[in-house]
A = this chain, B = another copy of it.
Amino acid sequence: MKSALSQRTINRLTQYYTILRDYSKKEIQNITSSQISQLLDIDETQVRKDIKSINCKGKCKVGYSVSELKGIIEDVLDYKVIKKAFVIGAGNLGVALSKYSKFSEFGLQIECLFDADKNKIGNTIDGKEIFDIKLLKQKVQKSGINIAILTTPNKVAQEVCDFLVDCGIKYIWNFAPSILIVPKSVKVWHENLIGSFIQFCAVENIT
């Protein structure tokens, strides 16, 4: 089902989920589209449309059941399906992403990190070991993990990318600010942090 949803809908559902998770922790049982709308500064009609699109029904004056809506979003977006990944590069960004608690809640499990720096190899980040990048091929073959989160500096990104492909990585989530060239069989998702900020500026007219 999720592939039928637009990227923007997926993005909004993920944000609704963050609220539902908080409400669930606070043991609040119901939530209205108006509450979601106000918290996220998203049009209420849009909120209702999104929730309707995943077949969740609210009750008049009561709103949606927090646990039901949370469960439906989990199912629709496959949060319960664990996706394991390697982080390539144990610099500040690689370490920050490895510590990012939200990932595991959404089904993304970072298995370990890889770096070429001997001073970093052998250390652990929140229980995840930093391995020598030379061991990557072996780890891919042993674990079957084929998702890599690339956080190396721009200068070496393409070189490291070529190495990842050679090691059997099939999906690369690229945080390096450069466009990577890969064979057709490998898919790259260029994370675009600055694009996100530019959108913010555009929406809010920040100049």
Chain A interface residues toward B at CB < 8 A: 2-3, 5, 7-8, 10-11, 14-15, 18-19, 22, 39-41, 77-78, 81, 83, 91-93, 95-97, 99-103, 106, 108, 147, 154, 171, 173, 177-179, 181, 187-207
Given contacts A95-B92, A171-B204, A197-B108, is CB(A39)–CB(B8) below 8 Å? no
CB distance from A133 to the nearest CB of B (A): 19
Q: Is the CB of B40 within 8 A of A100?
A: no
Contacts of A5 in B (CB 8 A): 202
Q: Is the CB of B197 within 8 A of A189?
A: yes
CB distance from A168 to the nearest CB of B (A): 15
Please state the number of chain copies in the assembly.
2
CB distance from A33 to the nearest CB of B (A): 15
Contacts of A202 in B (CB 8 A): 2-3, 5, 7, 10, 77
Q: Is the CB of A179 within 8 A of B39?
A: yes
Residue among A41, A102, A178, A194 with most chain B CB within 10 A: A194
Contacts of A103 in B (CB 8 A): 193-194, 197
Contacts of A192 in B (CB 8 A): 11, 14-15
Q: Is the CB of A3 within 8 A of B187?
A: no
Q: Choose one: B102, B147, B179; the contact of A15 (CB below 8 Å).
A: B179
Contacts of A147 in B (CB 8 A): 206
Given contacts A10-B198, A179-B39, A198-B77, is CB(A193)–CB(B95) below 8 Å? no
CB distance from A44 to the nearest CB of B (A): 15
Residue of B at shortest CB range from A102? B177
